[in-house]
Structure 1
């Protein structure tokens, strides 16, 4: 398919125009016009770009791309090296942040919910652009048992705030750097809230509002959405797809 076709398809499929975001969603660095091989990964780091070059990719699709509102506008140092490598090999870079978090089937929240076997999973409408999700476990389990399940699914031990012996069943979650949505979760009356990152203030919010909190890893909670998107594109458009998981303990 062409670069233009892929750009337009993803703009429609991910409802890009519906989100107010911190970075541009869509094509961020222009490469070759024809796309046959795609690489997906969480973050457009140098290691991912190098692997895409080795795999002879025509395009890279990531959740965390370039040109964030808080970063310097000049293209120097690390950013220059990354963009230079993309341009030298004529590789397109596509980034999808909040639209990928929120997608009802392939998004980070939807795919994490399925991986954890959460029932009745749905976005909380009209709150935080639909980024906070809620649902329930089939049966109650202890907080420590749920922590162990998170560790098995995500491949890393979560930080847990709360009494290990408490039973939990009703959950809310938002992947990535969503720790401050714990107040939204508490207002929903759930037993526990899951996000990727944690802040010092999160501990006090959890304790004082009587809600369990799990910091399960920014990278770990956001691996599944971009991989699912790549698989979807490969099926729909007969593309070669490689998901590249660059290790990140954060």
Structure 2
């Protein structure tokens, strides 16, 4: 068992949220009980995740996608009211880390995705975009199958590039707009979670393969890694719960 504030201090030490201009508050978003024995991690603080945390007798939930995003309706009603009521009624802490969790060199979504896909020499290319090399060169079709097997989700592949892919770039989530960073670096392929209408034309006309591998699917691994690190640090219980999302 550990105190909430000790866990929060350790997470802030690891993830350094003060270094980011983000779209939401990072750290403690909903305050619950002080003593923490069981931590649940997940991608998004949906009602399904909260209900699963309640069933697991969790004291703390840590997510990548929390609440209070810039530009959203600030009123506590409807879906937001129901989610918050569940957390408050059950005295559960909600912590969320967005860009700090994408960026972290060990626990971050980008770093963890490299391990899942078996990418060699993963390193930051520019900002949140990473680059690395495949263990062995693959055709575009082979690489798509490789992603599908690793993430248990078939990616959408577009673009016209090299016949063999070796150097790849990636940024998890809704980072399709960074495809030009990969193009400028001369990479063979770029992976993100989502795809926009212009992404197809950019990939086709600029000679790169693009794979939309799923926003949720690419961002499952960072928060789970953080949960396991906290388990080792504080001897608390941890469980990652994957509330499936096809996007």
Which TM-score band (shorter chain)? over 0.9
Matches within 5 A, 1:101-250: 101-124=102-125, 127=126, 130-163=127-160, 166-250=163-247
Q: Does 1:86 align with 2:87?
A: yes
Note the C-alpha offset of 1:71: 1.1
Gaps of 5+ in 2: none
Which has the larger displacement, 53-62 or 159-168?
Answer: 159-168
Note the C-alpha offset of 1:163: 4.7
Q: Distance in 1 between matches of 2:49 and 2:136?
A: 39
Cα deviation code 1:191-241 (max 9, x no counterpart): 000000000011111111111100000000000111111111101110001
TM-score under structure 1 normalisation?
0.96
Could you say what secondary structure the match of 1:171 adopts?
A: strand
**How many residue pairs end up in the alignment?**
246
Q: Distance in 1 between matches of 2:114 and 2:35?
A: 35
Note the C-alpha offset of 1:6: 1.2
Q: Distance in 2 between matches of 1:138 and 1:227?
A: 25
Asked if the contact 1:36/1:239 (under 8 Å) is kept, the reply is yes
Note the C-alpha offset of 1:70: 2.4
Q: Distance in 2 between matches of 1:91 and 1:54?
A: 12
Cα deviation code 1:1-40 (max 9, x no counterpart): 1111111111111111111110010000000011111000
Note the C-alpha offset of 1:138: 2.2
Residues 171, 165 of structure 1: alpha-carbon distance in 2 compared, 3 angstrom cutoff = closer
Matches within 5 A, 1:10-25: 10-25=11-26
Q: Distance in 2 between matches of 1:201 and 1:36?
A: 47
TM-score under structure 2 normalisation?
0.97
User: Over aligned residues, Cα RMSD in angstroms?
Assistant: 1.1
Q: Distance in 2 between matches of 1:18 and 1:242?
A: 28
